[in-house]
Structure 1
Amino acid sequence: MTAATLLFLPPDDSQPWRWWRIRDDAVEHEGEGLPEVGVDDHVVAVAPADAVTLHWATLPARSPAQALAAARVVVSDATAEPAHDLHVAVGRERAGDRGGERAIAVVAPSRMAAWLAALAQRGVDPAAVVPAPLLLPEPEEGYVRADLPGQAVVRGRTTGWADDPLLTGLVTRGEPPLALDRDAVRAAAIGAVAAPVIDLRQGAFARRRRRAAIDWALVRRLAVLAGLILLATLAIDVVRIMRYSFGADAIEGRAAAIARQALPRGTGEGDAARMLGERLSALRGPGQGFTRTAAAVYAVVEAVPESEVTALQFEPNGALRVSLSLAGEAQANTVKSRLAAAGFTVESSVFQQSAGRLTGDMTVRP
């Protein structure tokens, strides 16, 4: 850790605040009161040992929510108060032969809120809140004791508390804790600040992340990239439209060339498709043309029994004069009505009876 401030919360209001300034893995300064702390300074608050109860339990690797739920079960078996009325924090897994075991800290929510409020009034938003006993090194066996600013604490492998002659003797069963010298305490505290065993700022008391300042240079680069993407998309659409346009022009040119091949030699310049249509109309004849009109007449006559066409005459106005020989008047009326239903206008001449047949003419127009 390059620089940090260790701020010791006083056990009660009658005691002063104390602090250590850590720089380059050493305690550079210490003092009473509140140090000058900047907005971006790394501040770690130290909670008094008598306000925090510590437990250790094996909590299998789970999600944070599941680990917290399991920790509340452990706490409920060791406290008279309901676990949901306490602030419970879960530490990281312990490495080594006791992997999977985690520290569990329990503190009254009112105390936690009061500490953070007092710090906020002094313009301090700590990055973490660490129980005081966890600043001491974890002993291989037995217990260790040290005097921290404002309070003496004791720590064992799975315990930690504020030193009290009666309580300490009961917990250690008369075994005197090993007293740590000043340098050992400070070295352990520096390591604990760099990688806290447990941080009380969890759940409702978690530190709020400050929104990062807007990087306008990045915003401008993103805007340029977005503009380039839009331009590339527009260029793709323009190229596609041009390809379609050139393709359509090529198809129209080929169609005109093919149409001009069907025109007679010597035809002047002009719209080949229009001139081809005019020639087709001239060959086909006016109206619907001879072929379509004659085909419709023959189809109707063939469908009427004992009826036949005896002559056809196609007029320049598109009318087709049809001479018919029929078995009787009923057949004549049937032919006329069916031609009318096929979309033609039919005019009948006077039919005459001769040799047992009815003969006459019908003029069929579009």
Structure 2
Amino acid sequence: MTTLVFLPSGETGYRWIRTADRRVVDEGEGIPAPDPDGATIAVAPAEAVTLHWAELPSRSPAQATAAARLLVTEASAAPLAELHVVVGDEGNAERPIGVVGSAVMLGWLRMLAEAGIDPVAVIPAPMLLPRPDEGYVGTVLAGSAIIRGTTCGFADEAPMTALVTGDSAPVPIERADLEAALVGAAAAPSLDLRQGVFARRRRLALDWALIRRLAVLAGLILAVTLAISLVRIAKYSFGADMLATQADLVARSGLPRGETVTDATRQLDERLSRVRGPGLGFSATSAAIFAVVRAVPGSEVTALDFQPNGTVRLSVAVERESLATDLKTAFEAAGFTVQAGVFQAADGRVAGDLTLSTGGGA
């Protein structure tokens, strides 16, 4: 159902016509009762809107409007900045152009808002009439006489109408044709003044069903994410426990059979210390000592005694006395603390003892 609300003109107040099922079902004067299920279209008085027709570019509404404003500038005495120019479409090469004062348009919308009406469109009254193939048609609609031609539309005023129509008198429109034209214009207006700055603002309607579905989906996503995190944490925890168990089993296998296990790591460290000896251990210390001796030509080890405290009593023989000093210096450079004994010459060689300690590491 669509309600056409005719704006006041002169001494004529509000009037309205209501259409439904492709016919006029009701009409009256004053402000119509609101119809929450139907649309409301405002009808502008014919004398307040100037109509033109011209061939305009159809690539975009902006291009068509810009071209229309240039045409209106040449045909209007009012400054272009004070005019509201819109372009319509009737399916022909020549497109209708509506021109109305911006202040007038603003006044109409404010007046309608005060009456509790927010129209979906504002149509000039002549654009409600059917477009004739030739000549002119006329009728009285909502108390106002209007004329429509193929490329014109205006209020029927006797002196002016004769000047425009000439010898072609307007043909009255039959009631059935008028109702069909009203229904068609209400369904698809060929020229709507609610464009540009006066376009109807769309109200944001919240789709609560969609919001609820999105909330459920968000909750499911969060739940799945949390479940994934919990599974990952449990997997890491089980893996850590398994590794700890395996490490404990390996540690137990390294301890003497029958030994009670209280702290496998500490017990393995103690056993390793006992096996390798104090300090750096026998193997590491011996390797370091023989490496130093090999690096000093003319020297040899005659005896090696690894003490329980990690020190080494080393008996060496060198070819000459100076090599004993070189050997001592080499051991110190390798990180050993050296205490030299008395070296004596015998059988063409110099022999003596060195006491070596690592002092924490070689």
Q: TM-score range by the shorter chain?
A: 0.7 to 0.9
TM-score, length of structure 2 as denominator length: 0.85
Tell me how far apart the structure 1 counterparts of residues 96 and 317 of structure 2 sit (CA, whole Å). 117
Distance between the aligned counterparts of 1:167 and 1:233, measured in 2? Answer: 78
- What is the CA distance between 1:240 and its match in structure 2? 0.8
Corresponding position of 1:89: 86
TM-aligned CA deviation for residue 66 of structure 1:
4.1
Q: Where does the alignment leave 5 or more consecutive residues of structure 1 unmatched?
A: none
Is 1:347–2:338 an aligned residue pair?
Answer: yes
Q: Distance in 1 between matches of 2:145 and 2:176?
A: 16
The residue that corresponds to 2:219 in the other structure is: 227
Report if aligned partners of 2:122, 2:194 keep a CA contact under 8 Å in 1.
Answer: yes
1:138, CA displacement in angstroms?
A: 1.9
Match of 1:315 in 2: 307
Runs of 4+ with >6 A deviation: none
1:252 aligns with 2:244: yes
Q: Could you tell me how far 1:130 is from its partner in structure 2?
A: 0.6
Matching residue of 2:197: 204
- Give yes or no for the alignment of 1:58 onto 2:53: no
Q: Give the direction of change, closer, same or farther, for the CA distance of 1:21–1:94 in structure 2 (3 Å limit).
A: closer
- Aligned-residue Cα RMSD (Å) equals 2.9
Q: Percent identity?
A: 50
Answer whether contact 1:286 1:317 (CA < 8 A) is retained.
yes
1:294 aligned residue: 286
Report the CA distance shift for 1:164/1:308 in structure 2 as closer, same or farther (over 3 A).
Answer: farther
Cα contact 2:252–2:261 (8 A) shared by 1: no
Look up the match of 1:47: 44
> Cα deviations across residues 327-355 of structure 1 (Å, max 9, x unaligned)?
52651452243133xxx5x1312342524
Give the distance between the partners of 1:38 and 1:317, measured in 2 at CA: 107
Report the 3-state secondary structure (helix = DSSP H, G, I; strand = E; otherwise coil) of the residue aligned with 1:126: coil
Give the number of aligned pairs.
353
- Look up the SS of the partner of 2:117 in the other structure: coil
- TM-score, normalised to structure 1's length? 0.84
Unaligned runs of 5+ in 2: none
Specify the alignment match of 1:128 in structure 2. Answer: 121
Distance 1:222 1:357 in 2: 95
What amino acid sits opposite 1:194 in the alignment?
A
Question: Does the C-alpha gap of structure 1 residues 133 and 103 become closer, same or farther in structure 2, counting only changes over 3 Å?
Answer: same
Q: 1:18 aligns with which of 15, 35, 40?
A: 15
Residue in structure 1 matched with residue 144 of structure 2 by the alignment:
151
- Tell me if the contact between 2:84 and 2:99 (Cα under 8 Å) persists in the aligned partners: yes
> Partner of 2:334: helix, strand, or coil?
helix
- Offset at residue 45 of structure 1 (A): 0.7
Superposed displacement of residue 218, structure 1: 5.4
Q: Which residue of 2 aligns with 1:35?
A: 32
1:364 Cα deviation after fit: 1.7
Query: Which is worse superposed, 243-252 or 43-52?
Result: 243-252
CA shift digits 1:174-193 (9 cap, x unpaired)? 32333212221122011101
Deviation at 1:58, TM superposition (A): 2.6
DSSP-derived class of the 1:104 partner: strand
> Retained in 1: the 8 A contact 2:6–2:44?
yes
1:107-122 paired onto structure 2 within 5 Å: 107-122=100-115
